[in-house]
Each structure stands twice: as structure tokens, then as C-alpha cells.
Amino acid sequence: MNKLPILLSIPHGGIRQPSELEGHLSITNKDLFDDSDPFVVELYDLGDKVQRVIKTDIARAFVDLNRSLQDMPPDNPDGLIKSKTCYDKPIYANGKEPDDSLKTMLIELYYRPYHQAIQKSIDELDLKLCLDCHSMASTAPYFSPDKNNSKRPLFCISNNDGQTSSQEMLELLADSISESYSIGRQEISLNNPFHGGHITRTYGNNPFPWIQVEMNRDLYLSKPWFNEETLSVDTTHLQKLNNQFENTLEHFFSKI
């Protein structure tokens, strides 16, 4: 089988704590889970069915790969090396916040290798599309552009308002999602509330088109699939969503 000509980036795919932060943290397991993109690897990773998958197991609460090197506290508590979760919960014990030396270490160990892997893939592969794959809370958290708005759509896909891919490509992806997940086209928002994060903006149309994909967590972190006590999800349901994502891409590439 020919691999689909696409790169999948999953920058918020883990909940692992870097060993370098041992003894620094005040964050609880529930806070860490809420701040992460839970189960996105299971949702989006298509393995050798695509040209390449780049993913991580480090939690975004500690090193957010979808931020620029300049995006740091205190200007943005939800920046690359965060001081608070997206729900405004402190990550570090008082007086235990990372100093400049530790921040540099975290960037060198976890941030730069991810972006180097993206650039290496761009240099090596002949791609038709790249996707930056995420999940989103059903209602906006504290640090979010739409925190005063109502319930979010089932999907938001974004191309930085036409800067990182053509609008025709974005519309085709929306139609493909609608068909594969059997949801109404009105449940898929374009560039609202998200316009595309640092990865999409940095690599989009440079030279390949990039689109950011946000799946609403209501599609899997809700009854009957999700156990709130154990923070676990029915794996059969996750596999179904993964199959629907694969079908989305197959439909997309059959139309371009």
C-alpha cells in the first residue's frame, strides 16, 4: 500500500514528567491530565500508513512544543516553559520554578529535537500536506482566546486565515471530516477559535501546506467511553476515531 503523502505532527501527545523537574512540582495528576491533549496519539497516529509521524511523550505543561522560543512567563504563563496550566493552576512549588539554566536544558533536550525532526522531514520528504494534530476542551479554559464564549464545535481546523494552506484545501479537509466522522458540516469551524499555533505558522507553506486540527474532547472524554475516576477511555472507541481519521485523509487525497 502506498503511504499517504502527509506528515502528522502530534506535539502534545504525552503526559510524561521530565526527570530534570523532579522535586520542583506542585501540579496534581488531574491538573496534568486536564492541561494535556489526552489520547491524541491514539486518535491521530497512523504509523506507516503516512509518510511520517512526529510525536512526543513529554507533557505540554512542562515543555510546550507548539510555542515560540520567545513565548515565556511572565508575559505568558501558558508559554513554552509554563508557570501555570491553561486552567490557571500553578505547576511549580513556591520557590522551585525553573531558573534560566534549567529552562535552557529543557529546551535543548525536548524542544529543539522535535523541531529538528520537523525540519528534517521537510527536507527529506515529498509531501502534499502536513497536519498539526490536537484536542480541545469542550468549553474554553482560562488561558484561551474564546474563554468567554459558549460550547466549542466538534472540530476546529485552521490555516492562519489562509496563510498556511489554500482555503480550498481547508474546505476540502472540513468536508472530508464531516463525511468520515458522520457529523454535520456546521460542527466544523474554520479558524475559530484557533487560527493555527506556532508550528503551523512557522512551517506552513514553507514549502508545504500545513493545517492545525483540533478535535473536541467530548467525542471521547465523555460517557459512555470515559471513566472519570481512572482517567481511562474505551480503547475500542479510540480505535474507531483513529479509523475515521484515516478515512478522512483517504477521502481528502482522493479529491485533490
What average pLDDT does the chain have? 94
Taking residues 86-92, report their average pLDDT: 91
Answer CATH for 4-17+29-68+113-255 from 3.30.950.10, 3.50.50.60, 3.40.630.40, 3.30.310.10 = 3.40.630.40
Please report, rounded to a whole number, the percentage of residues in the chain having pLDDT higher than 70: 95
- Single-letter amino acid, residue 105: M
pLDDT of residue 221 exceeding 70? yes
Give the phi and the psi of residue 214 in degrees, each rounded to 5.
Answer: -120, 120
Q: Which residues pair with 214 in a beta bridge?
A: 134, 156
User: Looking only at Cα atoms, what is the longest distance across the chain?
Assistant: 55
> Which tens digits make up the pLDDT trace of 191-219?
999 999 999 999 999 999 999 999 999 99
pLDDT of residue 35 exceeding 80? yes
Burial class (CB in 10 A: 0-12, 13-18, 19+), 150: exposed
Q: At what angle do helices 167-181 and 235-255 cross, to 10 degrees?
A: 140
pLDDT of residue 48 exceeding 70? yes
Q: What whole-number distance in Å separates Cα of residue 230 and Cα of residue 226?
A: 9
Query: Given this model, what pLDDT does residue 111 score?
Result: 98
Residue closest to 123 by CA, chosen among 204, 179, 207, 45: 207
Q: Which three cell numbers stand for residue 64?
A: 510546550
> Which tens digits make up the pLDDT trace of 100-155?
999 999 999 999 999 999 999 999 999 999 999 999 988 776 556 666 666 889 99
Query: Given this model, what pLDDT does residue 236 score?
Result: 98
pLDDT of residue 38 exceeding 80? yes
Q: What DSSP state is assigned to residue 151?
A: P
Query: Given this model, what pLDDT does residue 151 score?
Result: 80
Model confidence band, residue 250 (pLDDT cutoffs 50, 70, 90) = very high
Taking residues 230-244, report their average pLDDT: 97
Q: How is the chain split into domains, by residue range?
A: 4-17+29-68+113-255
| Residues whose CB falls within 8 Å of the CB of residue 153, separated by 6 or more in sequence, listed in order | 187, 188, 189, 216
Query: Given this model, what pLDDT does residue 22 score?
Result: 95
Helix (H) or strand (E) holding 159: none
pLDDT of residue 78 exceeding 70? yes
> Which tens digits make up the pLDDT trace of 6-20?
999 999 999 999 999
Taking residues 166-183, report their average pLDDT: 98
8 Å CB contact between 111 and 82: no
Query: Given this model, what pLDDT does residue 142 score?
Result: 58
Taking residues 185-195, report their average pLDDT: 95
Q: Write down how long the chain is.
A: 256
Q: Which residues pair with 157 in a beta bridge?
A: 190, 213
Is pTM beyond 0.85? Reply is: yes
Query: Given this model, what pLDDT does residue 47 score?
Result: 98
Taking residues 221-246, report their average pLDDT: 96
